[in-house]
Amino acid sequence: MNQNKSILICGRLGQNPDLRYTRKQEPVCTFSLAENIEGSDKPKWHKVVVWGKQAENCNLHLKKGLRVFVQGQNERREFENLEGEVKQFTQL
């Protein structure tokens, strides 16, 4: 997946946003977004991460079930689980 490709997603929030602060007190907000895909009976889920003042605004105004548009760039991340397996996921 190309990390520099800007994408636009329309979907509904699967949960209320989760606002946290880094050690340097920078706000970061995460939420899941369900995108309905034509011809599919299951939505495609996206993990969205928002930083700064926009993160605080997301926390104030977004609620579970609300339909939103999100534009950003995909970022592929990986981690090693407790069994030593390397897992990958993509976030927007």
pLDDT in tens, 8-36: 899 999 999 999 999 999 999 999 999 99
With residue 87 as reference, give the H or E element that holds it. Answer: strand 86-91
The number of C-alpha atoms within 13 Å of 63 and in the hemisphere containing its C-beta is 1
Across the chain, mean pLDDT equals: 88
What pLDDT was estimated at residue 1? 44
Read off the pLDDT of each residue in 61-69 and give the average, rounded to a whole number: 96
Q: Is the pTM of this model over 0.85?
A: no
Q: Nearest CA to 47 among 26, 76, 27, 5?
A: 76
Q: What pLDDT band is residue 73 in, cutting at 50, 70 and 90?
A: confident
Q: Do residues 13 and 64 make contact, with C-beta atoms less than 8 angstroms apart?
A: yes
What residue ranges define each of the domains in the chain, with the CATH number in brackets?
6-91 (2.40.50.140)
